[in-house]
Amino acid sequence: MHAEPMPSPARAGVLKVMFLPLDVAASRLPPAAVPAVAGTEPFLPARIADAPGADHVERAPSLLAFRHLTDPGDGPVAFGPVRRPAADTPPSAPGRTRVGAPGACASLWEVPGGGLVLVCEELTAEAPGTVLTWHSDPLFDGADTGFRRALDAFLAPFRVTADAGLVDVFPRLDTRLPDPAVYRPLREVVVRTARPLAAERTVEGLVVEVAGDGSDAVRRLVGPPRSGTLADGVSRASGRLRIWHPEPLADAPVRAGARLGVRDDARAMLVDLGAADRHGYLGDGTREMLYHLICWVGARAHLHTDRRRLLGHLRTHRSHDRAQLLTALDEVADVRARLVEVALLCAPPDDAPGRIAPTRLRSLLAHRASAEIDGARAELTELCATADLVLHRRLHTARPRPQPLPAAPAVLSAIALPAAATAALLVPLQHLHPPALVPAAVSAALAVAFLAAPRRDGDAAGLVPFRRRDPRALRRRDAGPGV
């Protein structure tokens, strides 16, 4: 009798997420609401809020397309808070853990008025801190270990790379989103930061790692300032060393002393689920935390794209026609509306007693990036005022183009002026006395003005049209009254 093999224990899972806002214009109409997609836990399509606009200020993103893959042959993984014996919680407040196969998910979201956001997720059994390290930046634009390599790793389960377009990641997307940008490589349609608004040139986005027990990874990130040969090499390659800060998530976390790791530019974050409350990642509040980051990522990226568009209108406003000027003024109004939305997204969350607000992670990122956000908002506010003044002035000073001369005056001018010039050349100037030249010049000027003057209908040639009179009216006039 052979004993059945014991099932292998579930390994601790890590959820890696990359948010990438795309420089693709969204529809001006509000997208249709899409309910949560069952069977895709713990990925974002399964965590669409039931009533996203009821308690929060952002406009709810809509799911346009998604792809979900699983790998059952790699063994199950457990995703949830991990308790340590020294800091175990009471049995009456158990945390929730999901056990299932690892997998990957790519989803495309449309933010009303904020463009498109691509979200790549992967649930693996790797150790936390493999994507987010102190010596690499997955969003740095220009290094071999930066954005290109990180995006290729997130897209590897779907057998595409950063050179692929949206239509390659989501087949038949062009039937729902008829935009030429869906065929361009992803590395070209991502939003890059503007140098005056950010310290370094990087790809705008957000990279998050969510681990059941990420305390050791957070400790490595928020350690003392780095030095040595590796630190010097990182500084030369990427411009500077990133600084990480520990942040609390809940007043009563599952594991005492657990913290999050947030990078100084708020574009990377390592979430330790032990820092959450007793509900865990599948409970109330925390299950929607990543979902409420979609609008934040899109709104922050628009600070850079809006700046480029406003500067473009200021450079080329002299060549705009009336329709283009009106379109540019509409874009200025849209930028001002988005600035108000950014200010609302940066507001602190409204935590209920004993419950973490779903916008807690968003508020932590907004607080860490407050200096950059305030500077960008101030510059955009000034650009909006300048663009509004310049475009309105250009709109008021724009005049319709002068109408061409009627056909008959134009023909007469073309014939009469060369003939007059030829006749003047044939007459010897010595035979004309200077006093006689003045009346000739005045007569020529009056003739040209008469020919170029606009005429009434039927008088295009400058001649009074012949009107045929009724013979009966002439006989009545000759016969006198009473006839």
Range in 184-188, 325-329, 450-454 with the lowest mean pLDDT: 450-454
Please provide the size of the chain in residues: 483
Instruction: Name beta bridge partners: 206.
Output: 19
Range in 7-11, 345-349, 459-463 with the lowest mean pLDDT: 459-463
Is 448's pLDDT higher than 60? no
pLDDT at position 211 is: 87
- CA atoms of 138 and 161, how far apart (whole Å): 15
Q: For residue 213, how many other CB atoms are within 10 A of its CB?
A: 19
- CA atoms of 33 and 55, how far apart (whole Å): 17
Per-residue pLDDT tens for 53-74? 445 567 788 899 999 998 877 7
Range in 88-102, 182-196, 316-330 with the lowest mean pLDDT: 88-102
pLDDT at position 3 is: 45
pLDDT at position 104 is: 93
pLDDT at position 198 is: 63
Is 166's pLDDT higher than 80? yes
- Averaged over 338-363, what is the pLDDT? 75
pTM for this one? Answer: 0.76
- The C-alpha R_g of the chain, in whole angstroms, comes to 36
Is 431's pLDDT higher than 80? no
- Averaged over 262-271, what is the pLDDT? 90
- Averaged over 317-337, what is the pLDDT? 88
